[in-house]
Each structure stands twice: as structure tokens, then as C-alpha cells.
Structure 1
Amino acid sequence: MSSLLNKAVGGIGCALLALPLMAALIVGALISGLLSASSVSAAPSKHALADIPTAMLTLYQRAAADCRGLSWAVLAAIGKVETDHGRHPTMISSAGAVGPMQFLPSTFAAYAHPVPPGGKNPPTPWDPVDAVYAAARLLCVNGARDGKNVPGAIYQYNHSRAYVRQVLAVADRYQAQATRPTARAASAVAFARRQLGTPYRWGGDGPAEGGFDCSGLTKAAYLATGITLPRTAEAQYHATAKVPRGLPLLPGDLVFYGRPGNLHHVGIYIGHNQMINAPHPGARVRIEDYRWKDYWGATRPAARGGTR
């Protein structure tokens, strides 16, 4: 038996869902995503609750929900760095940027429409609602959607690497610890994002073998962080720390489908009800809604380092 086939034995459920069933699952996931009007966000930390005015915190959360993958904490961090959430006495910079989110009027005009709920008409960069929604839109079109390149999006807001680091540090303090992934989990997600578009390959562990299957992708993502997982979806489930039902998922969690003894698929959760997975033959590594009909549960490999 070839080494490729040998690796795939016991994990072939990633590829062998009947096509009509797979199609039904994908359609169901898409419908479920369309019906979901909001996304799960990190809870505010005690520091955030003390530092951010209640009305502004609510506004950051509302505006971020319009851009899947954008954390309200990033918006809030920009508001903090720019004007201390509108507390700066003048809110006019030496470059001519104005308002709580410090927009040049010409830049604001590009992101001011449609007028957000509660905004001014015509919109103005001086209005907190208009300004925060415009900031979310600017970030979204520059890489924040689906979390693809949030640092790059922040850099487009202010072309300074130091500014990006400052905003991310503030955003980190604004999120409750329990809702943040570990550094290894975040690295695993980053690895998986870099594989988007890679062809599905049954038994594949990466581009050198023509692509990934589902468990090959998750194994490679965590191997890149120093955590070694077993090869198959079933074995990965049993080797990693279970996420208790009812607790929110964190980016980097592995999500499994089927039932123990027949766990046929696994993906890597990235937040906002989305996962990255290698779904089936003929497809490519992609982002999609994780809430399939036969979702079983999740595990957290970084919680105890997997197997080595």
C-alpha cells in the first residue's frame, strides 16, 4: 500500500460523504449562515467596561457586526488611540482629521454611505455613529472581512507599524481572557488561512502531495505551532481536550462531524460561526459556516498541547 493511501486509511470519512448528503449539508450551512443576523464576539474585559463609555461600547459592537471577522475590540481600540472614545477636547489633528475616529473628510466620504441606523443625514465624521460605521467599513474592505488581514486593515487606517501594534495591544486588553485564543491556536488559524485555495487531496498532508484532506489540514496547522496531532479526524478528537457543550468556541478549536466511532470530518474554527476546512474531492480549502447538521462537538488542541 502506498504511503499516501496508508495515511488515509481510517480517516477516509473526510472524503467519502455521499455527494447528495454533502450538497445538502453545504446548502444547510449556507442557509443557516444567511439566517444568522449577528455573530459571536469576544466579551468585554473589566478594563473595557471601565474605560469605554457604555454608548460607545454598544456602537462599536453594532458596527463591527456588519463586517464578519472584524472584532468590536479593534474598532474600540482605534477609538481609544485616536480620541479616547471622543473625550479629546478638540478632535482635530494637525493633518486635518476630525471627529471621534479621526477621518479626513475626503476619506470619510468614501465610507459614509449607507447612513447607519441612528446616524446623521447627511452623514458627518463628527457624529460618533457615522464615524464608527465608516471606520468599520474602511477596515472591512482593506482586509478585516473574515479576519483575513486585520493588521493590514489597521495599517490602511494609519500607515504606521507602531500604530498597528498599539491598536492591537489595546484591543487585546479590551477582550476578556476567556474569549481569546492562545498564541498557538491563533498561529494554527493563520496557517490554515494561508492554505485557502489549496486543492482537496484524499490522504494529503499539503501541497507537496497535491493538497490536503480534512484531517491533513488540521494536523498540518497545529504541527506548524509545535503541536503534533494524530492523522485522522477520529483520532484527533480523542487525543485533544474537549470543549464542554454550551461554552463558546474559540479560534483554533477543532470542530467534528458524525459521532464517535464514525467522525468523518474535521475543520478548524476561526470565529464568527466560520471554519476553514478541506471539504471534499473536487473542492479547495475554504471558509464556510461550521454549523452542519451532523456537528458533534469541538476540541481545543492548544489547551494541553495535543500529542507529541
Structure 2
Amino acid sequence: MTSTATKTAVGAGCALLALPLFAALTAAALLGAVLPGAGGLAAAPSGRALADIPPRMLALYQSAAFECPGLSWTVLAAIGKVESDHGRHPTMISSAGAVGPMQFLPATFAAYAHPVPPGGRTPPTPWDPVDAVHAAARLLCANGARHGRNLRRAVWHYNHSGAYVDQVLATAHRYAATLPPAAAPTLAAGRAVAFARAQLGTPYVWGGDGPAEGGFDCSGLTKAAYRAASITLPRTAQTQYDAGPRLPRGAALAPGDLLFYGTSPRTITHVALYTGRGHAIDAPRPGAVVRQAPARLHGPDYRGATRPTAAHTRGGDRP
């Protein structure tokens, strides 16, 4: 920029740190608020976004957006694209002295660098992608992006150019998948999905139930997500599958449904949380991080879905 549980085996392939921002999410953010022209907080990445944005940066944009209620990750990603091609620029130093993947002037970065985000450096630096993307979200929030009050003004404060604003918002629009609206989740399912989204980018830890273990495995993540919604699930992928209630094969999915994979109904090795619009969040395997990706709803290892909220529905549970 140029301006101011018992650690029971859950199967191979089947784990994250809860971000402190989760407690501050608004109801709109919990259920996926939409920003005009930017695809909304819950926007699934388009094919162009998946092809263009490095997976680590995509996860970072998605998690950092929670710094600002109502800010779409697509806007952060678009700024990262315009400023440095997601960190691919060889030097990342502008003629005006802006540096790093989000092209901050050092003085401007300092104003938005604290608190240091999870995974950031101490002291924070505009050269670090985690520090820089979180600072960008805070800058946008302070200048009009909160709850979408004035997104154009917020982006203009990032770089004082109308042409720049148009380029960023057009790129953000291209990064959001154009899909039919997702079915409305129950309030409990919305809370579970919001919790899982807040974990994007956190490393997988086998047997992990949360911060005490440094992360989650696949069933640890889904159990923790539903614990945030006051629903208790069993610990392992197999026992979660067995607990149901199972959906009939071919039934329409809703956000919050659990998707299961394995060699047979008695050998479930992986679980993911469906988020709507054809996508799911999971902790895939050792060496990976919690991610949101297209849901695998076919193939020899897909065993079907369950809907935990169906056994816990109470009056007034829908938003």
C-alpha cells in the first residue's frame, strides 16, 4: 500500500487452536454475513481463487477476516493479489517504501500490528504474512469495512485511488464462487460451522482436542465445533458416524452436517463438517492444516452424512 478426550485412534488421515476472536463473533458472522460484490464471509472460493491463491495464503485470508465482523476474506485476498500476487513478488518493496506481502508502509503497519495474531512474529513485522494480513483486516475495519458500512471507503484508505478500489473489488468478486444460496442452518449448526471456520489454517495434531494438545485431528475438530454449540459428540470418527442420526443417501445436505469416509461403515477413518455451497471444513492429515475445500460427496470411500442437530432440535432453534 502507498497510503496511510481419550486419545483413541481415529484412523489414518483423520485435528487446531481456537482463535480468541471466536467469542467476539456476531450472530451475522456466525451464520455467514454477505457483503455486496465480495461474496460474503461465507463465500466459497471460486475455481479461479483455488488456482491462483497458494493454499497457505487462502487459509490465512479466511481466518484473518474474522478480525473484522462482516469483512469478506475475498477482499483481503484481492488486496494480496493486487499488492504482491500473494507474496510472489520477488522483492516486495515499492518505490514509496511499502514492504511485504500486503505492501505496508512501516508506520502504517505499526498502527495495526497489535495484538500479535496467532502464528505471528514477536515483534510483529510487515514482512510476515500472518502479521501483515491481520493488520490489513484491522486497517480495513477501522475505515469502514466493519459490517459492510462503507467497503469502498475502507479499500480507498488502503490506497488512495479510485482505480485501485475498482480493481480490488472486481478481483474479490472473481474470487467468490457463484453458487445457489445454502440452506439456512439451525442456530446450533451455525455455531458449529462458525467455530470450525475460526480454526482455518491451524496445524493438524493427531489425537488433538484443542489448545492443550496444540491442535485438532478430524474428529477432535468436529467434536469441539459441536461443543461450542452445546451438543456433545463422541470422540472418534467411527463413534460419531455410529451416533448419527444418518441422512438417507442422496438427501440434501445442510450446513453443520458431518461427512464420513472409510473403507466400510465399520471402518470410518475420517470426518468433515459440511459448511454449505458444496464445501466442507476438515483437519485432513499430519503435516496439513485445517482447511475449507470442495466437499467429496462421491467416491468409493464416502460413507454418507449425519445431522447431529436432528437429535437435539428444540423450539426456536432456527435463526
TM-score, with structure 2 as normaliser: 0.47
Q: Based on CA coordinates, which of the two structures has the bigger radius of gyration? A: 1
Structure with greater proportional helix content: 1
Q: Which has the higher contact order (CA 8 A, sep 6+)?
A: 2
TM-score, with structure 1 as normaliser: 0.48
